[in-house]
Structure formats: C-alpha cells, structure tokens
Amino acid sequence: MNMKLKHLAWAFLALPLAYSCGQGGNKESKEETSKVVADTVKQCYTASFEGDSAILDLKVIDSVKVIGDLVIKYAEKPHNNGIVRGEFKGDTLYVDYSFKTGQNKQEFSNPLVFLKQGTNLKMGVGVIETSFGRSYFAKDKPINFERGKFDFVTTECK
C-alpha cells in the first residue's frame, strides 16, 4: 500500500508541472499567430502589354516572405493561372510561379523576378537554369528589368 501512495504523490507533484508546460506552449502559439496576422500586408497589382494582361495579388509577411496569386491573360493563347511563393531580397522579389495553362490539368513551375520601383513592380528577364527538376535564375547572369514584359502598378485589392 505504501508503494501506491508514493506513486500517487509523484503523480500529484507532476500534474502542476505538466499543466504549466502545456499553458506556456499555448500562449506562445497565440502570440506567433497574432504576430503573423499583424505583420501581413496585402498588395494588389495589374499590368498590360500588347493585348496581354496580368493580375497579381500578394500577401507580404514580415516585409520579406510573399505568397499570392498570379493570372496572366494572353490575347492569343490560353491564360495562365497559379500561385507565387518567394521572398524579397532587398528591392528584388524572387518567386516560384506554379501554374496551369488554360484547361490543361498539368501544372508547370517557373521562376519569376520583379524589381520594386516605388509602389510598383517591374518584371525582369534572365537566363534560367534547371537542376534536379528545379528551375532558377542563373547566378552569374544579370537580370534585365528593361526587357520585362509587364510593369505592375498597384491597384485596389478586391
């Protein structure tokens, strides 16, 4: 009987410790959740070029990480519709664009780059390399923002 009392006593001593550890974790995750919400800014853009147009809706998290939607409507071919994910490095936004073309069920992925100019974004053109099934901009080749097809201007988010 004495052994059962010892185990019961240890259980009662451990209970407040377990409770306090559980409470601390909940508090921290609530703070992290509210921080993400507080540091997320929605930014929306439109662009057009020779009959083609694009709509870019972004969520910028902590002024660096980016996730959003990009739809490119071509005048002469099916439109692209997909998701961009990436981050700002200084005034340059690097993203991976995962998209589908028209009614095609196959998903494609391409890197895109934008230069922030004031409140606008200028799409750049560069040499793309592929390694292990992943495409990226060549590190030793410059990105040309003058030859980019789209100049995205800020617009009201819907």
Domain assignment of residue 31, yes or no: no
pTM assigned to the model? 0.72
The alpha-helical segments, DSSP class H, found in the chain are 2-38
User: What is the b/e burial string over 52-65, where b = at least 16 CB atoms within 10 angstroms of the residue's CB?
Assistant: bbbbbbbebbeeee
Is there a domain that residue 22 lies in?
no
- pLDDT value at residue 18: 44
Note the pLDDT of residue 125: 92
Whether residue 70 is contained in a domain is answered as yes
For residue 68, the cross-strand partners are 58, 84
Confidence (pLDDT) at 47: 97
User: What CA–CA distance (Å, rounded) separates 79 from 55?
Assistant: 11
> What is the pLDDT, as a whole number, of residue 79?
94
Looking at the structure of the chain, the number of domains it has is 1
5 is a domain residue: no
Assigned domain for 91 exists: yes
Q: With respect to residue 28, please indicate whether it lies within any of the assigned structural domains.
A: no
Residue 20 within a domain: no
Could you tell me if residue 9 is inside a domain?
no
Q: What is the pLDDT of residue 137?
A: 87
Q: Give the domain range for residue 76.
A: 40-155
Q: Running along the chain, 158 residues long, what does each successive block of 10 average in pLDDT?
A: 47 43 49 57 95 96 94 94 96 95 91 95 92 85 90 94
Q: What pLDDT, on the 0 to 100 scale, is given for residue 132?
A: 85
